[in-house]
Amino acid sequence: MGLDKFRNKTFIGEDLHLNRYYEFVDREGNVRRDVDYFIREPNPRTIPSIWNRWLAFRVSDPPTTEDVLKEDQRQRSIKEKAKIFEEEDLKLRVQEMEYKKQQQQENLDNRNIIPKQ
């Protein structure tokens, strides 16, 4: 592909990671979509899902700035909720371990009790 790939590419937009998105027509006349990563070592995980849908031709129109900001807020909200869930889950696991430990100790104590005659 080389540099020919970039000859007549049209800038479409940029995400919050400063990755830049382009559309171009290849030698065979097919419309292609591409991303120039902001960082030197490309990492597809830095592509927001909203832009990934556009790159994969699942949507025809690129996301607007408003769409990008809404998606970013949605992702942040999901991460915050996941963090809260993980913290609550950890508390419950600790409680469960303490309860099991207590039950084991009670079982041991009950075994050591000699009935009075």
The strand pairing partners of 23, in sequence order, are 10, 33
pLDDT digits (tens), the chain, 117 positions: 444 455 689 999 999 889 999 999 999 999 999 999 988 777 788 899 999 999 999 999 999 999 999 998 999 999 999 999 999 999 999 999 999 999 988 888 887 766 565
Those residues whose C-beta lies under 8 Å from the C-beta of residue 22, and which sit 6 or more positions away, are 6, 9, 10, 11, 12, 33, 34, 35, 36
Joined tokens for residue 87:
């913290």
| CA pair distance 46, 21, nearest whole angstrom | 13
